[in-house]
């Protein structure tokens, strides 16, 4: 059985949010919608496992303060995959370690980007070494 892939979406504009959901449903991904950056942060670092492996953010619809807040997910140890919609400067791509930026809502573009990353690998608990 294929492991469940989870995604959280933060796209304040309804048209973009609906497009993202249509794209991810085609990949049979479990989708959670966040209404704020605070909800995104809670879902990926504070909520109990299993946590989302994918974050999709509409950068054209969020403020600079929200972008700054979003960095805390990396600082707090979430190493999932981020897909961005809109215009995202290169420096921001690097600082958030964004997997891919989609400049427009072209059918199948997000679906293909997600499928190319491949989330089939099972996570394993690593042994604890006593030094």
pLDDT in tens, 11-35: 999 999 999 999 998 888 999 999 9
pLDDT at 123: 38
For residue 131, is it within any domain?
A: no
For residue 127, is it within any domain?
A: no
Residue 15 has a CB neighbour count (10 Å cut-off) of: 10
For residue 128, is it within any domain?
A: no
- If you average pLDDT over every residue of the chain, what do you get? 87
For residue 27, is it within any domain?
A: yes
Name the domain count of the chain. 1
**How many angstroms from the chain centroid is the CA of residue 76?**
15
* Secondary structure letter of residue 129 according to DSSP: P
For residue 123, is it within any domain?
A: no
pLDDT at 32: 95
For residue 70, is it within any domain?
A: yes
Q: For residues 112 and 36, what is the distance between their CA atoms, to the nearest angstrom?
A: 26
Domain that holds residue 95: 6-116
User: Which stretches within the chain are classed as H helix?
Assistant: 14-26, 37-41, 64-70, 72-75, 90-96, 109-117
For residue 112, is it within any domain?
A: yes
Which CATH number is 85's domain given? 3.40.50.2300
pLDDT grade for 94, boundaries at 50, 70 and 90: very high
**How many angstroms from the chain centroid is the CA of residue 18?**
15
Residue 23 tokens read as 């794209």
For residue 130, is it within any domain?
A: no
pTM of the full structure: 0.86
């Amino acid at each position: 059985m294929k492991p469940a892939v989870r995604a959280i979406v933060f796209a304040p504009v309804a048209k973009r949010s609906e497009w993202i959901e249509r794209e991810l449903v085609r990949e049979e991904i479990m989708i959670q919608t966040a209404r704020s950056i605070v909800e995104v942060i809670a879902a990926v670092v504070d909520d109990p496992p299993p946590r989302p492996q994918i974050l999709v953010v509409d950068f054209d619809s969020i403020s600079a303060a929200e972008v700054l807040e979003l960095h805390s997910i990396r600082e707090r140890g979430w190493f999932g995959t981020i897909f961005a919609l809109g215009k995202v400067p290169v420096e921001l791509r690097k600082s958030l370690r964004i997997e891919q930026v989609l400049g427009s809502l072209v059918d199948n573009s997000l679906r293909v980007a997600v499928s190319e990353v491949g989330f089939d690998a099972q996570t394993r608990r690593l042994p604890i070494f006593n030094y």
